[in-house]
Amino acid sequence: MATYDDIGGAPAVTAAVDMFYAKVTGDPSLAGYFEGVDLARLKGHQRAFIGAALGGADGYSGRDMGAAHASLAITDADFDAVVGHLADTLAALAVPGDTIERIGAALAPLRADIVTRPAVA
């Protein structure tokens, strides 16, 4: 069974995306990334991406992660904060810990494409 089904399919992904964006847009260190962004459109892309990444039937047809994030100057700390908010969201939705770990493992390789600003020494 795919992780997508384990967490409850499309309704669970929708709930997770909505809660996740409430967390990231409410985080002062991340909120600036979302100023002027069409959140409804972004949430749609995120639902499709997460669904596909977790083994859902619908595929993701958006831009690749590098292209989508290239102009944002995202740091490792920003990436870690976003992943932390996602893990917190999934835990709040009673997703089992081993499933959250699988999702985290699937996201880890994306760091190289998403992080574009080196850490300040």
| pLDDT band at 77; cut points 50, 70, 90 | very high
> How far apart are the C-alpha atoms of 18 and 12, rounded to whole Å?
10
| pLDDT the model gives residue 24 | 95
Helix/strand/coil (H, E, C) string of 90-101?
A: HHHCCCCHHHHH
Q: Which fold has domain 3-114?
A: Globin-like (1.10.490)
Would you list the DSSP string of 20-80?
A: HHHHHHH-TTTGGGGTT--HHHHHHHHHHHHHHHTT-SSPP-S--HHHHHGGG---HHHHH
Mean predicted confidence (pLDDT) in 100-107: 84
| pLDDT the model gives residue 121 | 52
**pLDDT tens by residue, 14-70:** 998 999 999 999 999 999 999 999 999 989 888 887 777 777 766 656 677 777 787
> How far apart are the C-alpha atoms of 117 and 55, rounded to whole Å?
31
> How far apart are the C-alpha atoms of 114 and 67, rounded to whole Å?
9
| pLDDT the model gives residue 59 | 61
Ordered by start, the domain boundaries in the chain are 3-114
> How far apart are the C-alpha atoms of 105 and 23, rounded to whole Å?
21
Mean predicted confidence (pLDDT) in 85-112: 86
